Amino acid sequence: MVCDTVEVIGPGFIDIPNVVTDGKDLVQICGSTKWKLLRDLPGLFTCIVSHESLHLVLGKVEGRAAEELDNFASLSAISRNLKGIPKCVQYPHGLIGFD
């Protein structure tokens, strides 16, 4: 795997299921209470960590490409809101919206 560390951090002041990367080797999963409402968390996290790993790989090659990834291969490619998160399970490779 490209990322060296996956951390679960507190939800912060807004309780949303979010995942971020530091652009180097760390993926952080925000510990939202809303994750409990979702099914197939292992499948969902496989997709999410794969997606964030793509950000890390692209960032090492071309930083702008890593930034652009979310414009065409992320949750926004298949849904207009967070209710679409369960659909991400269909994309274990991390390129959400690409079959």
Q: Between residues 12 and 94, which one has the greater pLDDT?
A: 94
Q: Kindly report, residue by residue over 39-71, the tens digit of the pLDDT.
A: 898 998 889 888 988 888 898 888 888 889 988
How confident is the model at residue 1, as a pLDDT? 54
Mean pLDDT (whole number) for 58-87: 88
Please check whether residue 30 is in contact with residue 18, taking contact to mean a CB–CB distance below 8 angstroms: yes
Strands 5-9 and 26-30, by their bridges, are: parallel
What is the mean pLDDT of the segment spanning 80-91?
Answer: 89
How far is residue 8's CA from residue 17's CA, in Å, rounded to a whole number? 11
Supply the mean pLDDT for the chain.
Answer: 86
pTM: 0.80
Q: Are 96 and 77 in contact (CB under 8 A)?
A: yes
Average pLDDT of the segment spanning 32-36: 86
The residue with tokens 């971020």 is 20
